[in-house]
Amino acid sequence: MKYSLKNIFPDHIRNIAVTSPAGRPDMEQLKIVIGQMRSAGIGIVNCLPEASPQTPHYLAADAADRLKKFNQAVNDPAVDMIICARGGFGCVHLLDQIDYTTLQERNLPVMGYSDITALHCAMLKQKAGMAIAGSNLVTLDRVAEDDFSYLSHRAALDINSAPVILPEAPQALQAVYPENFAGEVSGNAYAANLTVLTSLCGTGFMPDFSNMILILEDVNEPVYKLDRMLEQLRCNGVFADLKALGFGIFSGIDDNRALTMLQQRIAGNLTCPVFCGFQFGHTYPMCAVNSQRFLTLRAGQRIRFSN
């Protein structure tokens, strides 16, 4: 491990609640990371729900217990931040009963990705809490292994820090539209899982992304399904008033040429700048994104965070 896990978090974050609003985590890996955090001097508040014999294997616990534990974390005055243990599936079961009032009053940071997109979108819709698209707890140790992941998570978590220019990403950010676009785009941003975001169409939990930079990623989805989901978002007006659209990492893609053509076609139907190659997805290095920090994107340039 290159960095101490403690150094990922600013001084005002010292007690972290761990909870599982969605899928069941690898408990052995979870214990390892929690042990590393405790050894680094980080206080861990256990808000993990417990599965019953009747709980489906893909869920961390029954919906009532997952909700209870999440709201327990939200209401614990000792908790400075919530980190979700893993994604998977299940956040949608909780969205209509979360204590958004307290989450809003405390502006509590909640970090995770994948299925945590559903939770974050509900938070953005309710203007409650600080949605941070970043590592789930089971893979937090990987954030400490490279400069890019470490510095982006540190920048996302320390909202009051000076502007930060990240190291070069493994792949360069490229302009899809306008072609050869050389300008820069700045704004509040959020990084979402495409499948989960699309599932919120027609619900009361889809936020308004107007004047924001929206970044999309997914994993192990064929291009035709990505096409269908992107068109569904477009037809629902999700892209209508974006400041910019960014395509993140689509891990396990079956046809890279078809993906490039799809991104170009979607971009051609939008009026905002569109980028590809943003370093966020089901892989590391990972660029964490805080919805309350400004993100600046420019093709071929390093990513910048500011207030």
Q: Which domains does the chain have, with CATH numbers?
A: 5-138 (3.40.50.10740), 164-306 (3.50.30.60)
pLDDT, residue 168, reads 92
Give exposure, 287-306, as e/b (b: 16+ Cβ within 10 Å).
Answer: bbbbbbbebbbbbeebbbbe
**pLDDT tens digits in sequence order for the chain, 307 residues long:** 788 999 999 999 999 999 999 999 999 999 999 999 999 999 999 999 999 999 999 999 999 999 999 999 999 999 999 999 999 999 999 999 999 999 999 999 999 999 999 999 999 999 999 999 999 999 999 999 999 999 999 999 998 888 999 999 998 899 999 987 888 999 999 999 999 999 999 999 999 999 999 999 999 999 999 999 999 999 999 999 999 999 999 999 989 999 999 999 999 999 999 999 999 999 999 999 999 999 999 999 999 999 8
Question: For the whole model, what pTM was predicted?
Answer: 0.97
CB 247 within 8 A of CB 267: no
User: Residue 254: its pLDDT value, please?
Assistant: 84
- Alpha carbons within 13 angstroms on the beta-carbon side of residue 280 total 31
> Which amino acid is located at 207 in the chain?
P
pLDDT the model gives residue 307: 82
What pLDDT sits at residue 161?
Answer: 86
C-alpha distances in Å from residue 295, one per residue of 107, 118, 138, 171, 269:
20, 21, 26, 18, 23
So what's the pLDDT on residue 179? 83
Torsion angles phi and psi, residue 256, rounded to 5: -65, -35
CA–CA distance, 190 with 212 (Å, rounded to integer): 8
Give the pLDDT of residue 130: 98
Residue 83's DSSP bridge partners are 18, 111
